Chains A and B, each alone.
Chain A
Amino acid sequence: DAKTTQPPSMDCAEGRAANLPCNHSTISGNEYVYWYRQIHSQGPQYIIHGLKNNETNEMASLIITENRKSSTLILPHATLRDTAVYYCISISSNTGKLIFGQGTTLQVKP
């Protein structure tokens, strides 16, 4: 499974868009990119995933570069409740298991 790298922390002003980057330069053709977040010590929450096309759902948008070596998670209007650790995970379709890195701690400030 490809290794992902994320900045350890980011700040965002409440109401503004939060753009969280992720590098996955060793990703292979069948590996999806998943995003999860963990608020305080709760169970991780699924956000979005994609293979090569950009994706959008009610929570966020996922922008994947054409060469698939990086992606950006966009929270369009961050709120204080979006403060969490965000994990970018690449996963092979053969395994199913999620390999969590250290993630990005997003702090949304009023």
Chain B
Amino acid sequence: NAGVMQNPRHLVRRRGQEARLRCSPMKGHSHVYWYRQLPEEGLKFMVYLQKENIIDESGMPKERFSAEFPKEGPSILRIQQVVRGDSAAYFCASSSKGQNYEQYFGPGTRLTVT
């Protein structure tokens, strides 16, 4: 029973490029959450999605960041025109029923912006 999968595990981008982070939830899970962990800091919630819907994006930066979870395929976190401050670990979590059910985390994608 595969867990949450994220790819790539490591991603290097130059300033101004785009970063695409993918998350495949656990089998049977239709709720996906994205969190960001800046160096030496705690995890911060970014966005909560259900299939084809954004439920809560209160933690998303207003510009350059977007997320989707299409009917088919993985959830995508997209960062346009990356800057050095976007360098962080991005974790995806999934749950079977959303609110009030435990979330299972993937191994994360470590984004480095040079």
Contacts and interface: CB of A to CB of B under 8 A. Distances in A.
Nearest to A101: B42
Contacts of B35: 98, 100
Contacts of A93: 99-100
A98 B33 contact: yes
Interface in A6-43: 32, 34, 38, 41-43
A78 interface: no
A29 to B, nearest CB: 13
Nearest to A85: B42
A103 B41 CA distance: 11
Nearest to A97: B45
Interface residues of A, number: 22
26 contacts: A32-B100, A38-B43, A41-B108, A42-B107, A43-B4, A43-B91, A43-B107, A43-B108, A44-B93, A46-B105, A49-B102, A93-B100, A96-B56, A96-B95, A96-B98, A96-B99, A96-B100, A96-B101, A97-B33, A97-B58, A98-B33, A98-B93, A99-B45, A100-B35, A100-B44, A103-B42
A102 interface: yes
Interface in A52-88: none
B106 interface: yes
Contacts of A45: 105
Main secondary structure of the interface of A (DSSP, over half): loop
Interface of B: 4, 31, 33, 35, 42-45, 48, 55-56, 58-59, 89, 91, 93, 95, 98-108
Nearest to B100: A93
A38 B91 CA distance: 12
Interface of A: 32, 34, 38, 41-46, 49, 91, 93-103
A87 to B, nearest CB: 8
Given A44-B91, A101-B42, A103-B42, A96 B106 contact: no
